[in-house]
Structure 1
Amino acid sequence: MSPLPKVAFIGTGGTISSIGRDSLDLLDYTATDRRLEADAILDAVPEVRRAAEVIPVRFRAVTSPAIGFPEWRDLVFLCERVAAEHPDLAGIVIGHGTATLEETAYALSLTLTVPLPVVVVGSQRPISALSSDAGLNLVAAVRTAAAPASRGRGVLVVLNDEIQAAREVTKTSVARLQTFRSPDFGVLGQVDGDGVLYYRASERRHAPGTPFDLRPLDALPRVDVSYAYAGADGTAVRAFVAAGARGLVSAGLAPGMTPPAEADALEAAAAAGIIVVQSTRAGSGVVPSTTRLRQRGILGADNLTPQKARILLALALTVTRDPAQVAEMFATY
């Protein structure tokens, strides 16, 4: 019998690590403030060791709203260290809360330096709950990270037996198990039993090999998201500019537009040298670079959600402040 593949499991906390008051505590479990570290999660799901030789790596155990740039940078460095310590590693799994899971996954997909498959996994129900999805999601993620077919696909997200691209996936429901969706293009593949099956690939570029280097950075440039609504008058945009924003993302109305006063504020920001990117609050669809946007000096976000457009714009600003080069990055990544 051939040895099992070796996979590292990094725990960052989240629902997949959480312990509620009892087995029916599905919604208010964060009140206990109890979360398991990576090794304890593996002990709670012994079945995962039938899929791979899993190496637990402690990171921290927090709710995912507490995760941002410092944790992304530390995870990049931690993945480098783990890969160097285990040259025979097949892949890496990162356990994560679902609230910001898609943002961490996309940030890592733009900044990782290791060539291994990296899979981000979470759960909708705490590991202590009746019918929790934590255990099976973890097993599926480990199988995906260990699969040779997962190499070269960028950072992957695995929940509910589905494999999604970090760039495309978004959380669409507060509590349902089928919350993570890729609205425009659908899943990359699925995990059925011990089979990891792929049906398509994402065409956009991803790490390793991107120009985004986190090593010299203490923080990302400030980029804020302004949410459009009927009657928005630009107050939020002006406040972000006053706070020192170097970039702005507009979560616009579904066509990729904003109310007139908001549009004027965004145009003024662009004229002042702030890079402004127009996204949409719709959750799917491409915002093209229209004549109206070009006349205002505003870039289109392609089909990135506002929260992901913010990440790409912040990283782009560590490389260039040329709007044409930033636009090219949005067409590339």
Structure 2
Amino acid sequence: MSSSCRPSWLVPALLCALAVLAARPAETPGRSPARGGAELGVSAQVARLYEEAAVATRQYEEGRRAAETERTRARQLDELLDRERKQLAVLHKDLGRIARAQYRSGGDVPLTARMLLTDHPEELLRRQHAVSRADLAVTDAIRRSRSAEARLAADEVKAAARWRALEQRNVELVALKADIEAKLEEARRRLQVQADSSTASGTCRGAVRLDQPHKSVRRAWVAPVREYELSAPFGSGGARWANRHTGQDFAVPIGTPVRSVGGGRVVRVSCGGAFGIQIVVAHPGGYYTQYAHLASVAVDQGERLVPGQWIGQSGTTGNSTGPHLHFEVRVTPELGSGVDPVPWLAARGVRL
């Protein structure tokens, strides 16, 4: 902060310095100022790699489905080609029967001579006309069948080439996905080390601002994480809890972006203790939600939130046996007033 005082004498200078110090914002107890450099960069790196890994996974799945579609198309072309070949074989047999019938009815004897020798020339003409029409039909069918066979064979070559290109793209996507996941795993490890250091000292690092999701949430309530597996439920027993489990656990990797389930205001950001790094949010209607065992926070106490806003990243700080988000719904900001989060969210249109 700059000052407009211009000290010409010692007393005005001291007064000016005191005014500047008094104007500085006080630090929140238990929070340390946000530090720059690599320490805070790892949080943003994890969030970015998390999104890149998700994109690479989607691209791989789309490529895999496209390759499977091409394989199905190639099989259909093979089946169609087989049917055409069978029809061609039947036509060849029909042509052979016609040729044999012609031979039995006169062979190479000219039609004029056969008409002079026969007792029924009209019948002979009808038969000859039928044979000629059959000849033309068979010839035309053979031509069409061969044309279709050539066309199908060309389509089959194109489909095979496209399938090989898709397979090669999938191989490249697998390598890209593996590289991203390796970098993500290392960044997650570094993020958790920083988080453990914060909880050990009981002093949180400053809020690490994360790029918010590209798609804004249009619903009033959402799940606290996008992709998850439900683990320990509300009210379950366990050696790590004094009585019963007071929330719902979401099994997610370290660094997974955590969302505010609804609009509200941050009433607590703290580190240390059984919950490790945690955030408590007050919502309209008198309810509070808690997000615990985090690896980082992306909001400050007193901050207003919108539904789906990223407020931190999951971790395994505090009394935790592995990476997960501990999520609670309470009627007060304090522990011991929890209600089952699953039906509470379901009543708001969020089915876990």
TM over 0.5, yes or no? no
TM-score by length of 1: 0.22
Structure with higher Rg: it is 2
Higher helix share: 2
TM-score by length of 2: 0.22
Greater relative CO (CA pairs within 8 A, separation 6+): 2
